[in-house]
Amino acid sequence: MSEHHHDHDHDHEHDDRPGPHGAPLSDVQLRVRALESLLVDKGLVDPKALDTLIDTYQTKVGPRNGARVVAKAWLDPAFKQRLLADSTAAIAELGYIGRQGEDMVVLENTPKVHNVVVCTLCSCYPWPVLGLPPVWYKSGPYRARTVIDPRGVLHEFGVDLAEDVEVRVWDSTAELRYLVLPERPAGTEGLSEEQLAELVTRDSMIGVARVNPPRR
């Protein structure tokens, strides 16, 4: 998948160079701490509110929400119809609303059309259904290349599309937030909504992966 190698076992806290997976520079850490103290001293920020914000996106809001939307759409044709017609309202039926998901658009992948989402200008991403974006989504390679070489990027993710499949890249340049409805894999007949949701990955809802059938 990657030409250069990273040792994911090492302790990032002790790496002293900025890397693609986070900048472990201690002076950045000190600067953020000093800034937080300053803002608390000035009465502009309550540290407990910061804890709650962090906890919300670390433990409560994430791609399992989106997976539930996808699984329900696979099982319930009426919901799927509502989801494609008014994505924001249909997603809100499951309680997923709010910041960075105020105006949702769901894109359906089919055997003939493959949708993939990017934000070339910053990092726009549908928080209520996917949580905060991974580093690769916000990185130079993904933002630079997805619009000019979508099939090359998809190949790196292990998705090879036939020539007659149309690729649609969606650049999130405004306040619409896009969620891909991946194809339901074969061999999933009879699975419950919960079992289907287990199969749905974050990457499949960005459009850089397919959903794999369950392992036997």
Q: Is 169 in the site for other proteins (CB under 8 A)?
A: yes
Give bridge partners of residue 105 from the DSSP assignment.
Answer: 178
32 lies in the binding site for other proteins (CB under 8 A): yes
In whole angstroms, how close is the CB of 208 to other proteins at the nearest point? 8
User: In this structure, what token pair is assigned to residue 52?
Assistant: 């709650």
- Residues 84-113 binding other proteins (CB under 8 A) are 97-99, 102-103, 105
State whether residue 49 is helix, strand or coil. Answer: helix
Active site residue 119: yes
Those residues with Cβ within 8 angstroms of residue 126's Cβ, 6 or more apart along the chain or in another chain: 66, 100, 101, 104, 177, 178, 179
Least distance to other proteins from the beta carbon of 43, Å? 5
130 vs 118: CA distance, rounded Å: 14
3-state secondary structure (DSSP) of residue 178: strand
In whole angstroms, the minimum distance from the beta carbon of 189 to other proteins comes to 30
By CB under 8 A, residue 14 contacts other proteins: no
* 122 counts as catalytic: yes
In 104-147, alpha helices (H) = 127-130, 135-138, 140-145
Total residues at the site for other proteins (CB under 8 A)? 90
Residues 122-151 that bind other proteins (CB under 8 A): 122-123, 131-132, 134-136, 138-145, 147-148, 150-151
Site stretch for other proteins (CB under 8 A), options 65-73, 79-87, 114-122, 183-191? 114-122
Angle, CA of 176, 177 and 180, to the nearest 5°: 130
Per the annotation, the verdict on 2 as an active-site residue is no
Q: Active site includes 192?
A: no
**Catalytic residue chosen out of the listed positions 124, 139, 192, 204:** 124
β-sheet bridge partners, residue 178: 105
Answer yes or no whether residue 33 interacts with other proteins by CB under 8 A: yes
- Tokens coding 45: 């920020």
Nearer to other proteins, 76 or 149 (CB): 149
Which residues carry out catalysis?
A: 119, 122-124
